[in-house]
Amino acid sequence: MNSTELYEIERSLWTNDPKVYHDSLRHDALLLFQETGVITRDTAVAAIREENREDRRWAEVSFSDQRTLSPTQDTYVLIYKATARWNYEQSPITVLCSSIYALHSGDWKLVFHQQTPLAAGPSGLHPGI
């Protein structure tokens, strides 16, 4: 597995498919969002199912500033900026993301994901972009 393939898994998680989430995250994975705090895989899957029922999906997403660390042979850390727009919103959001993948029974599984929103500055532009 290389970082390109891991970023493909990461991008698939932005499709709001509960099966993809369930299958890509390790059973004990944790996710950290400003809106929810720390949540588990099962909580995230249930939330995605609810979003799907309400027809809320990401309409588009792009990654930039992608970086990868591999502290061990069976661990990767992905760090990137995501710009994404919900299907019911006019404007996208931009978040800084980090995800940790670990080799688990021969498969790469997400064990931790974190997002930090970038606040818009007075000009409406995101600082540092």
pLDDT tens over the chain, length 129 residues: 788 999 999 999 999 999 999 999 999 999 999 989 999 999 999 999 999 999 999 999 999 999 999 999 999 999 999 999 999 999 999 999 999 999 988 999 999 999 999 975 444 444 443
Query: For position 45, what pLDDT does the model report?
Result: 96
Which range marks the domain in which residue 80 is found?
3-117
Query: For position 121, what pLDDT does the model report?
Result: 47
pTM, full prediction:
0.88
Q: Is 125 inside any structural domain?
A: no
Instruction: Please give the tally of structural domains in the chain.
Output: 1
101: CATH? 3.10.450.50
Q: Is 123 inside any structural domain?
A: no
* Exposed e or buried b per residue across 30-52, where buried means at least 16 C-beta atoms within 10 angstroms of its C-beta: bbebeeeeebebeebbebbeeee
Q: Is 37 inside any structural domain?
A: yes
Q: Is 122 inside any structural domain?
A: no
